[in-house]
Structure 1
Amino acid sequence: MDCPRSNSSTCSSGATVNLTCSEPLRLVGGASRCAGTVEVKHRGEWRRVDEHYGFWYQEATVGVCRDLDCGSAVYGQKRGGFPEGPVWMVSPDCVKESSVRGCVYSSSSSSSGVEVKCSELLNRPIISVSVSDGASELQPQGVRVQLGSKFRVKCSVEPQYPGGSFRLLSPAAPPAQNRTLPAVNHSAHFLFSDADHAHKGNYTCVYLLQVFNHNFSSQSHTLQLSVGESDSDLIIRVVVILLLKLLYILPMSYYYCKVRARGGARERLQLRVRLVQM
């Protein structure tokens, strides 16, 4: 689900499938994977990106950051000074609406290139759930908490910058009421009580921070939370119901056998009527 593009495959139920994310676009020479010179892989060859008209739209920078899953665009510009060599020529107008590789229209030789910086300077936060007075069970897509229990959603991030805050996006309140808490020791705890079906849904942590007078954000994976009775409670309930039915049926069956042994037709008829009415 985290692959914007991948080599797809199918597998039988219960089998394992391995995926390798493949994105024919990269930024090289920068401080991180989200900053540097734009290169694209086209016709099996990695080359620097250039364009003919001497300008590069901010919207095209947004497209590059989007394709790389690197957040929002900080800046993008064309510059010279590169070694003369083969480049892929792209249309900035096309990049605004499509992928960079999809906008390559020719091959050329140039000493120019495009530099881009995106906002993904922050580590991705981690989201987790714990229960203080009830049961919880891990599930393939998330976690299930018991009805009526108190649970806590923890948002945390690996130490990188001081300060910041966490916003929890959850189905338990309208978007305008989603909570925001300051980061204390690089984490925040969101408390919920009396879990009910209104709390089920997708939960996401957003880490917010101001660095170099710019506002940055980073979003966690989505955690799916469900609310219900635990498997052990359901099993106990089913066993109790079966025992009660058994305790009711056994005496009737015993009485029926005794009546039959005595050969009482009238009593057998009355008992059959009572059994049918059950």
Structure 2
Amino acid sequence: MDCPRYSSRTCSSGAAVNLTCSEPLRLVGGASRCAGTVEVKHRGEWRRVVKAYGFWDLGATAAVCRDLDCGSAVSGGERDDFPQSRVWEIHPYCVKKFTVRECVTDSSSSEALEVVCSDLLNRPIISLSVLDGASEALPQGVRVKPGSKFRVKCSVEPQFPGGSFQLLSPTVNLTQNHTLPAVNHSAHFLFSDTGPAHKGNHLQVFDHAFSSQSHALQLHVGGQGQRRR
């Protein structure tokens, strides 16, 4: 009954309900539950995990991310600066076919496996400010006066160096899509001479490395107090 998650289906009175528990697997010491040192609970004991032999590649890392429901593999590798202690040893080829728990054996080592999965990046923040012109806050988005100059700021909490932001506008004109490198974990997209082409755009920001998506920003073009179609 201690399942972190479960699956069930509607059934008639007196019928059984099937529960599927998540793997006794975790990543510790990282920025989130989807990054850190791999640990497995086996025979009632949590221990860090080491590679038995063979090459630990992104395929093996992806298997760990899969069992954690943490998206795709970003990086994975070994560390050897831990105190000598009892560990669980796993074979990389095994975890690609079975769950991590099914692939562990008892061992002793000073090594450990470090894994980073894609569900790690914080959600970016998107905002709009008018530099020259007038704007009006709406229940859904912002209305900007035609001819105004405005700026869309995209930012994310500091976690990793580098990265880039992509501002997407679902219009026919593909030139409305912009990409800028992250500077101090943010980017500023400038727009001048606002016109009908900007109207109704849902602007979204992504960090390419981890594909984290912000909320949509609805932009309306028109005078304050006016309703334009």
TM-score with structure 2 setting the length? 0.56
Matched AA of 1:37: T
Aligned to 1:210: none
Q: Indicate conservation of the 8 Å contact 1:70/1:118, yes or no.
A: no
Matches within 5 A, 1:11-50: 24-28=24-28, 32=31, 36-41=36-41, 45-50=45-50
1:224 aligns with 2:216: yes
2:146 is equivalent to residue 145 of structure 1: no
Q: Answer yes or no: is the 8 Å Cα contact 2:129–2:152 preserved in 1.
A: no
Q: Secondary structure, in 3 states, of the residue corresponding to 1:55?
A: coil
Matches within 5 A, 1:1-278: 7=5, 24-28=24-28, 32=31, 36-41=36-41, 45-50=45-50, 52=52, 54-58=53-57, 59-64=59-64, 67=68, 69=70, 72-77=73-78, 83-85=84-86, 87=88, 90=90, 92-93=92-93, 95-96=95-96, 102-105=99-102, 108-112=105-109, 114-118=112-116, 124=122, 126-132=124-130, 133-138=134-139, 143-146=140-143, 152-158=151-157, 165-172=164-171, 178-184=177-183, 186-192=185-191, 193-194=194-195, 195-197=198-200, 199-200=201-202, 203-206=204-207, 217-226=209-218
Offset of residue 227 of structure 1: 5.0
CA distance 1:79–1:160, change in 2 (3 Å): closer
Higher relative contact order (CA 8 A, sep 6+): 2
Distance in 2 between residues matched to 1:80 and 1:105, nearest whole Å: 26
User: RMSD of aligned C-alpha atoms?
Assistant: 4.9
- Displacement of 1:131: 4.9
Indicate the structure with greater helix content.
1
Deviation track 1:114-141 (CA, whole Å, cap 9, x = no partner) reads: 4225388x97463222253332335xxx
How far apart, in 1, do the equivalents of 2:44 and 2:175 lie?
47
Letter in 2 for 1:167: Q
Q: Give the deviation of 1:39 after TM superposition.
A: 0.6
Q: Structure 1 residues 49, 128: closer, same or farther in 2, change over 3 A?
A: same
Deviations, residues 213-265 of structure 1 (Å, cap 9, x unaligned): xxxx35544212335699x959x99xxxxxxxxxxxxxxxxxxxxxxxxxxxx
Q: Which structure's CA Rg is the greater one?
A: 1
Note the C-alpha offset of 1:190.
1.7
5+ unaligned residues in a row in structure 1: which ranges? 10-21, 208-216, 238-278
Aligned-residue offset at 1:83: 3.8
Please, which runs of 5 or more residues in structure 2 have no aligned partner?
Answer: 8-21
> CA deviation digits over 1:37-57, x for unaligned, max 9?
3112457642333565x1243
